[in-house]
Structure 1
Amino acid sequence: MKIPFSPPYIDQDIINEVVDTMKSGWITTGPKVKAFEDEISRFTDVDNTLCVNSWTSGAILVLKWFGVKKGDEVIVPAYTYCATALAVIRCGATPVMVDVKEDFTIDIDKIEASITERTKVIIPVDIAGLPCHYKELNDLVNNKKIKSKFSPDSENQHKLGRILLLADAAHSFGANYEKLRTGKLTDITVFSFHAVKNVTTAEGGAISLNLPAPFQNAEEYRVLRLWTLNGQTKDAFTKSQGGGNSWQYDIVFPGLKINMPDLCAAMGLAQIRKYSGQILPERIRVGERYQAFFNNKPWAQLPILKDDQRTSSYHLYPLKIRNISEGQRNEIINEIADKGVSVNVHFIPMPMLTLFKDLGYKMEDYPVSYDIYSREISLPIYPELKDDQVDFICKVVEESYERVIGNETNI
């Protein structure tokens, strides 16, 4: 039996929506993107959502909008995909890495100890789809002592008057924290709709705006939308509608070119319409079947999929193996692969990567991140997996563990 790790969810409804877009004669940013934005806003219960061409682009755009620049600091977890920090670097600022907790979420005590007068943004990351501890994070940025350290430079920084809380929800579309969905938990949230995500547009992302007064989210949506189109006051769809002066436009910001096309939005539009009723429940089915099996294995450390405050989006199933080394973990993965099951590791901590090592980050400063990484194996979790396939994966993981660890025990 061959089981891939994370194939994209494509059914006839998605194909029909994409074909409809192709037949419409309009494939770049237009009505399908706007419809998808509206669906995301309804799903997350936010006023405004802006679609972009990737999570990374969306994060860069938000940081630039907030005025993040050289000399500024942005706090990020050491345990995340590199894009979280690369977005900061692209703005000329410095990523300040802090360690995570055993549940993969950023350590708030470590954040507080790292805040300086140069800190402009904190980016918590919902690894595997489990929301961070957002009540504590919001309390932190609104704490009088922390606010007194904030040194605003830009108009939007003065307007907010504190550190911006920007959620990296690349994994957590559909997750909940205290009955609120991700998108509604911080000032701004950026989602990813990459090919492996719960909802995909092949490539893409979205910015959900939840800014407090005196910001008007509709106005900030309008400004950010211009930024995605080189700062141009009219998009191509508006210009195409005809009329005497429809061709006229202005450039009012030094913008980027990061808009999502309708052809991509069509995929997401078809998926989000069946996400709550079909796609997410099937991911939950797979995750809970894993939990039931591995709960009886003393060597298995189960991920948190839900607790009193949080419910995961079941994007990943990050199983940790107790009392093993990184090398043993790698041997177990090789055994699993030999039996036809594709697994993964999420993630290689950033201080282990050449770019960040060269910038001076040291892995020994983030012991929890390394420990999690060294023992983690991400198992396949997606709607198309049948129960017998999940059972096969469980059996393969158990046999692979016993083969590697049992052999070493018997030497």
Structure 2
Amino acid sequence: MKIPFSPPYINEDVINEVVDSLKSGWITTGPKVKALEDEIKNYSGAKEVLCVNSWTSGAIMMLRWLGIREGDEVIIPAYTYSATALAVYHAGGTPVMVDTTADFNISVTGIRNAISPKTKAILPVDIAGFPCDYDEIMNLVNKPDVKKIFKPASAVQKKLGRILVLNDAAHSLGATYTNGIKTGSETDIAIFSLHAVKNITTGEGGAICLNLPEPFDNEALYGKLRRMSLNCQTKDAFSKSKAGGWRYDITGLGMKINMADINAAIGLAQMRIYPELLKERKRVFGVYNDAFSQENWAVKPPAIVRGKESSYHIYALRIKDITEAQRDRIIDEIAKTGVAVNVHFIPLPMLTFFKENGFNIKDYPQAYNNYKCEISLPIYPQLTEKELAYIIKAVKNAYQSVAGQT
């Protein structure tokens, strides 16, 4: 049996929505992008949502909007995908890495210890779709002693008056926080990824959620960022295409990172049935939990803890008391059965670029401990009970073959 790791969910509704875009004669940014923004806005509870061509470009744009410049620091976890740190570099800042906790997410104590007068933003990451401790993080940046440390270096920073919290919500569309608050509405800014392997996809894409406090006007900021995502051009392509509408102006240093309607069509059809898709992901997660609860070597990933609930994006299984080499051999054994698994993630300090920039994995022991024994299992709505039983058997047999324990 061949079981892929994370195929996109494509049904007739998705196909029809894309075909509708093709037949419309308008395939770049237009009505379907706006409809998708509205769907995500209504679902997440965010004040405004702007769709762009990737999480990474959205994060770069928002850090540039914040006024990040050389020497400014942005706190991130050491355990995340490279885009989290690369966005900081591309925006002109310096990433400051802190260790994680046993639930994969960034340590709030680590954040506090890393804050300096150079700190302009904190970029927590909802690993596997499980939310970080945002009550604690938002309380931290609003504490008088922390606000006193903050040294604004741009007009936006002065207006905010404290460190910005930008949630890397790439995995967590559909996750809920305390009191049922959905991810996307719990921090100043949150950015979802709509990449091909995510719960909701547009092939490539991202969705920036704006929830800035007063005196910011999120609606006005949406308009500004929309233009910024189109090279700060005063007219979009649709307006320019109308008879006599050719004249435009460029009002700033923008980026070309808009999402196209043909991409938005995929996500739009999926968002309309997302509660159903999320229910199916939770079903798969539950089957794994039931199976691995019987094994004393298995550490199940967090799902529902202290009022927080995952988006069930990744089933990040950990295996007790094994080495990194043993984990790799277990993955090799699973692959022989035709089951595709993955690892989320290789900690940043283990990657060449970050090692060359002075980061050392020895400084992040929990991140390494999470990584060395983690195996991500397939989790998506299309998985059948028969396929899940096959995956579970493959994992258990691989463990027995490598670790030799009962």
TM-score, L = length of structure 1? 0.98
Match of 1:193 in 2: 194
Q: Given the alignment of the two structures, is residue 207 of structure 1 paired with residue 205 of structure 2, yes or no?
A: no
Match of 2:333 in 1: 335
Report how far residue 92 of structure 1 moved.
1.7
Match of 2:171 in 1: 171
Match of 1:261 in 2: 260
AA matched with 1:61:
M
Q: How does 1:304-383 map to 2 (within 5 A)?
A: 304-383=302-381
Match of 1:10 in 2: 10
Q: How does 1:87-126 map to 2 (within 5 A)?
A: 87-126=87-126
Q: Is the 8 Å Cα contact of residues 52 and 206 (structure 2) preserved in structure 1?
A: yes
Runs of 4+ in 1 over 2 A off after TM superposition: none
Q: How does 1:36-75 map to 2 (within 5 A)?
A: 36-75=36-75
Q: Given the alignment of the two structures, is residue 180 of structure 1 paired with residue 181 of structure 2, yes or no?
A: yes
SS at match of 1:181: coil
Report how far residue 10 of structure 1 moved.
0.6
Report how far residue 46 of structure 1 moved.
1.7
Q: Is the 8 Å Cα contact of residues 61 and 91 (structure 2) preserved in structure 1?
A: no
SS at match of 2:79: coil
TM-score, L = length of structure 2? 0.99
Q: Is the 8 Å Cα contact of residues 123 and 167 (structure 1) preserved in structure 2?
A: yes
Question: C-alpha distance in 2, partners of 1:13/1:250?
Answer: 39
Report how far residue 241 of structure 1 moved.
3.4
SS at match of 2:295: coil
**Count, aligned residues:** 405
Question: C-alpha distance in 1, partners of 2:374/2:12?
Answer: 35
Q: Given the alignment of the two structures, is residue 86 of structure 1 paired with residue 83 of structure 2, yes or no?
A: no
Residue deviations 1:343-378, cap 9 Å, x none? 000000000000000000000000000011000000
Give ranges in structure 1 of 5+ residues lacking alignment.
none
Q: How does 1:208-223 map to 2 (within 5 A)?
A: 208-223=209-224
SS at match of 1:176: coil
Question: C-alpha distance in 1, partners of 2:346/2:112?
Answer: 24
Report how far residue 47 of structure 1 moved.
2.1
Question: C-alpha distance in 2, partners of 1:22/1:259?
Answer: 18
Q: Given the alignment of the two structures, is residue 228 of structure 1 paired with residue 229 of structure 2, yes or no?
A: yes
SS at match of 2:317: strand
Q: How does 1:133-152 map to 2 (within 5 A)?
A: 133-152=133-152
Name which of structure 1's ranges 246-255 and 189-198 shifts more when overlaid on structure 2: 246-255
Match of 1:287 in 2: 285
Q: Is the 8 Å Cα contact of residues 226 and 253 (structure 1) preserved in structure 2?
A: no
AA matched with 1:248:
R
Question: C-alpha distance in 1, partners of 2:306/2:68?
Answer: 36
AA matched with 1:124:
P
Match of 1:401 in 2: 399
Report how far residue 74 of structure 1 moved.
0.2
Question: C-alpha distance in 2, partners of 1:41/1:146?
Answer: 31
Q: CA RMSD in A?
A: 0.9
SS at match of 1:404: helix
Identity score, percent:
57
Match of 1:30 in 2: 30
Give ranges in structure 2 of 5+ residues lacking alignment.
none
AA matched with 1:226:
R
Question: C-alpha distance in 1, partners of 2:53/2:223?
Answer: 17
Q: Is the 8 Å Cα contact of residues 47 and 185 (structure 2) preserved in structure 1?
A: no
Question: C-alpha distance in 1, partners of 2:4/2:103?
Answer: 26
Residue deviations 1:6-63, cap 9 Å, x none? 0011111000000000000000001110111111110111221000000000000000
AA matched with 1:269:
L
Question: C-alpha distance in 2, partners of 1:339/1:32?
Answer: 41
Question: C-alpha distance in 2, partners of 1:359/1:307?
Answer: 36
Match of 1:389 in 2: 387
